[in-house]
Amino acid sequence: MRIGPQPEQSGPWRNTLRHSLRVLLVVGCLGAGASVVPPVRMALAQTSSEASQFATLVADRLFIDGANLLIAEGNVEALYGTTRLQARRITYNRSTGALSVEGPLVLNDGRDVVMLAESADLSDGMRRGLIRSARVVFDEQFQVAASSVERLDERYTEMTSVIASSCEVCERRPTPLWEIRASRIVHDEDELQVYFENAQFRLFGLPVAYLPRLRVPDPRLERATGFLSPRFTFNTGHGVGLRAPYFIVLSQDRDLTLTPFVASKGTRALEFRYRQAFATGQLELGGLVARDSIRPGRTRTLGYATGDFALGNGYQLGFNLIQPSDRGVLEDYDRDEPRLTSDITLERIRRDERIRLQALQFRSLRLADVNAQLPNQVGQAVLERRRDVPGLGGVAGFRLEAHVHRRKQVFAGLPEPAPGFGPGPRPRQMGRLSLDLDWRRDAVLPGGVLGAVGAHLGVDHFRLSQTGGAFPTSVSRVTPNLMAELRWPLVRSDADGVSHVIEPVAQVIWGRDRLSNLPHEASRMPELDEGNLFTYDRFAGRDVREAGLRANLGLSWTRHDPRGLSSTLTLGRIWRQRDLGQFAAATPLAGGRSNWLIAGSLDTVEGLSLSNRSLFTSDFRLQRTAFELDWTTDTYSVSTSYMRILGNAFEDRAATASEWSFEGSRQLDEYWTGRVGWRYDIAQNRAARALVGLNYENECLRMELGVERQFASATTPSARTSFGLNIDILGIGGNPSRARRACSDM
Q: Is residue 411 part of a domain?
A: no
Q: Which of 94, 126, 158 is the C-terminal boundary of a domain?
A: 126
Q: Is residue 602 part of a domain?
A: yes
Q: Is residue 23 part of a domain?
A: yes
Q: Is residue 441 part of a domain?
A: yes
Contacts of 125 (CB under 8 A, 6+ apart): 46, 48, 50, 53, 55, 80, 81, 83, 97
Kindly tell me the sign of the dihedral angle through the C-alpha atoms of 157, 162, 167, 169.
negative
CA distance between the termini of the chain:
52
Q: Residue 24 has what pLDDT?
A: 30
Q: Residue 739 has what pLDDT?
A: 54
Q: Residue 138 has what pLDDT?
A: 85
Burial code (b: 16+ CB inside 10 Å, e: under 16) for 610-629 equals ebbbbbbbeeeeebbbbebb
Q: Is residue 289 part of a domain?
A: no
Contacts of 98 (CB under 8 A, 6+ apart): 92, 121, 122, 123
| 3 state SS of 65 | strand
Query: Taking phi first (over 0 means left), then psi (-120 to 50 degrees means alpha), and beta for anything else, what does residue 680 get?
Result: beta
Q: Residue 420 has what pLDDT?
A: 54
Q: What's the CATH code of the domain at 34? A: 2.60.450
Q: Is residue 622 part of a domain?
A: yes
Q: Which amino acid is at 55?
A: A
Q: Residue 410 has what pLDDT?
A: 74
Burial code (b: 16+ CB inside 10 Å, e: under 16) for 323-341 equals ebbebbbbbbbbeeeebbe
What element of type H or E holds 332? helix 329-332
Q: Which of 603, 622, 655 is the C-terminal boundary of a domain?
A: 655
Question: What is the domain range of residue 595?
Answer: 425-655
Over the chain (746 residues), what is each successive 10-residue block's mean pLDDT?
36 32 32 40 46 67 82 85 85 81 84 85 74 86 89 86 87 83 91 91 88 87 84 88 92 94 93 96 96 91 95 94 87 73 95 95 79 86 95 94 88 51 70 96 93 96 84 90 96 89 96 84 84 91 91 96 90 94 85 94 92 93 94 93 87 84 93 94 88 91 90 72 86 66 46
The model carries a pTM of 0.78
Q: Residue 537 has what pLDDT?
A: 92
What element of type H or E holds 19? helix 11-30
Give the separation between CA 669 and CA 549, rounded to whole angstroms.
62
- Contacts by residues 47-50 (CB-CB < 8 Å, ≥ 24 positions apart): 47/94, 47/95, 47/96, 47/97, 48/97, 48/124, 48/125, 50/125
Concatenate the DSSP letters of all residues of 675-692 into one string: EEEEEEETTTTEEEEEEE
Q: Is the peptide bond before 427 cis (omega within 30 degrees of 0)?
A: no
Q: Residue 338 has what pLDDT?
A: 54
Q: Is residue 349 part of a domain?
A: no
Query: Taking phi first (over 0 means left), then psi (-120 to 50 degrees means alpha), and beta for anything else, what does residue 448 get?
Result: left
Q: Which of 126, 155, 173 is the C-terminal boundary of a domain?
A: 126
Q: Residue 38 has what pLDDT?
A: 45
Q: Is residue 587 part of a domain?
A: yes
Q: Is the peptide bond before 324 cis (omega within 30 degrees of 0)?
A: no
Report how many domains make up the chain.
2
Contacts of 615 (CB under 8 A, 6+ apart): 528, 588, 595, 596, 597, 598, 622, 623, 624, 625
